[in-house]
Amino acid sequence: MISIQNLTKVYDGASGGTHALRDVSLEIPDGDIFGIIGISGAGKSTLVRCVNLLEQPTSGHIVVDGTDVTTLSGAELRAFRYRTAMIFQGFGLLAQKTALENVCFPLATGIGRLPEGARDKGLELLGRVGLADKADSYPAQLSGGQKQRVAIARALACDPTTILCDEATSALDPASTEQVLDLLAKINQETGVTMLVITHSMDVVRRICKHVAVLVGGEVVERGATQEIFQNPQHKVTKALLGKGDWNA
Amino acid sequence: MLSGWGDFVAEYSGLLTTGMLDTLAMLFVSTGIAYVFGTVLGVVLYLTSPIGLKPHRVFNGILGWIINMARSIPFIILLVALMPTTRALVHTTTGVVGVTPPLVASATPFVARMIEQSLAEVPRDTLESVVSFGASMPRIVLGALLPEALPSIVRGISITLISVLGYTAIAGAVGAGGLGDIAIRYGYYRYEDEVMVVTVVLLVVLVQIIQTVCDLIAKRIDHR
Ligand SMILES: Nc1ncnc2c1ncn2[C@@H]1O[C@H](COP(=O)(O)OP(=O)(O)O)[C@@H](O)[C@H]1O
Ligand SMILES: [Mg+2]
């Protein structure tokens, strides 16, 4: 379980600080697909990036399976990150490496040697995302949807317990979006991996999330099972995101 | 006319060949050594910069300042100022060997900035993805950062080689040998214009070859 406790993040800036997150608390059960929705600037990326400590929280705690990860550093932090995969809006693939090399990259040792069987595992994962024939292609030769599927295969290479998705489908066309969402749902079902899905699209939430929290101005204003939120939205932003209200109401 | 050309070749081909070999030796040895030191410095500069993975304002500021200082010293002055150090290091201050330390000292800060620049071109997303699955710092630098920046680094190598080639000509003026030395000795002191012209043509051709080869390699290894 991921337990986010009183998380606050302030970015230092020239004109004082930006309060990106204010006292956010969330519980994400094991095996869940948990959506975090909000408009641009709501603090979604900041929240997800605090979970694997790409951003250092200003205050608060993130407890994963009983360990407060905000105190981790060095090898312990790296081991935690290894188990916590991340998928980016911009894919984050290495442009000078083939699809297979990208997938195998996390498996390599400190000096870059691939352990026994890593190549086979990489090929198997590429097969799982439907890209067995693209093993030797470079990212530039792949479509957006294919790149994101390579990124998903790479995320799976470390047998993660959690996958963090930051707007994973926002750069994709509707058909690729569908394909990637189906793939994520299937992976969740087959492996029981916990997923934290950041999005600005209610459609994404409706399609794959079991639970959802609505973030407004760095605060959680509403949370619950997806079905409940869709049937009975309370906050005006939730209603507006669902197209049931007016943004200015 | 033709026999004149034949005479010219007979008289000067040995001189020009030696000059070319000296120039190439100075150029590639000093640039090679400068890339060893400069790459390390460039990586440290990049990592400690505000956009790097280990931002450190004070350290980065001091290192940047030292590098700018070294870059602002004119080569001929650096060459003279380093003479005691050069003598201690390689037991001579003339010839190809004697001019290598000042060439390295002059090219290293230049290389450091080129490398820093190339690394800064690697997209943030790419770098963060590597960090996000728990890669160690050596792995990030050697496995991802430098390989991703390699085509840009290779393009930088041609710029470095061509500017070091300019320095080798200056070094020629203080007796380092090479094509620059020949151009000055024959063209400037002895008024033998043909030798000077041929030397300059050779330098022009060399620059074109360096540029073309580096561009070709950069294109070959770039998969973007
Ligand atoms: N590195 C940063 N430095 C300063 N401010 C930032 C930084 N990253 C995000 N912010 C600010 O924090 C707020 C939340 O940003 P973000 O988490 O990216 O929102 P979202 O992903 O929901 O669009 C915004 O006001 C944004 O400008
Ligand atoms: Mg965002």
Residue B213 Cα to chain centre, angstroms: 15
pLDDT of residue B149: 98
Nearest to A217 by CA among A243, A236, A190: A236
Residues of B within 8 A of A112 (CB-CB) are 139, 142-143
Express each pLDDT in B131-178 by its tens digit.
999 999 999 999 999 999 999 999 999 999 999 999 998 888 777 889
Q: Is the pLDDT of residue B3 over 70?
A: no
Q: What is the value of pTM for the model shown?
A: 0.92
Report the SS3 class of residue A36.
strand
Q: Which ligand is nearest to the CA of A167?
A: 2
Q: Is the shortest distance between the CB of A41 and ligand 1 below 6 Å?
A: yes
**Residue B46 sits in a domain of what CATH number?**
1.10.3720.10
A96 vs B: CB within 8 A: yes
ipTM field:
0.92
Shortest Cα–Cα distance, A88 to chain B (Å): 7
CB-defined contacts A:B, below 8 A = 88
The percent of residues above 90 in pLDDT, for chain A, comes to: 91
CA A126, CA A149: separation in Å to the nearest integer?
Answer: 8
Answer whether A88 sits within 8 Å of B131, measured CB to CB: no
- How far is the centre of ligand 1, averaged over its atoms, from the C-alpha of A55 (Å)? 11
d(CA A80, CA A86) in angstroms, rounded, equals 12
Atom of ligand 1 nearest to the CA of A43: 17
CB atoms within 10 A of CB A113: 9
- B147 part of contact set with chain A, CB < 8 Å: yes
Residue B191 confidence (pLDDT) above 70: yes
Kindly tell me the sign of the dihedral angle through the C-alpha atoms of B167, B32, B88, B66. Answer: positive
What total of structural domains would you count in chain B? 1
Give B130's contacts in chain A (Cβ within 8 Å).
92, 94, 105
Q: To the nearest whole angstrom, how far is the Cα of A79 from the nearest Cα of chain B? A: 6
A11 lines ligand 1 (CB under 6 A): yes
B32 Cβ under 8 Å from any chain A Cβ: no
pLDDT tens digits for B124-136? 999 999 999 999 9
Domain that holds residue B166: 2-221
Sign of CA dihedral A106, A112, A116, A117: positive
Residue B116: per-residue pLDDT:
98
Quick check: B1 pLDDT over 70?
no
Is the CB of residue B217 less than 8 Å away from at least one CB of chain A? no
Joined tokens for residue B113: 């900035």
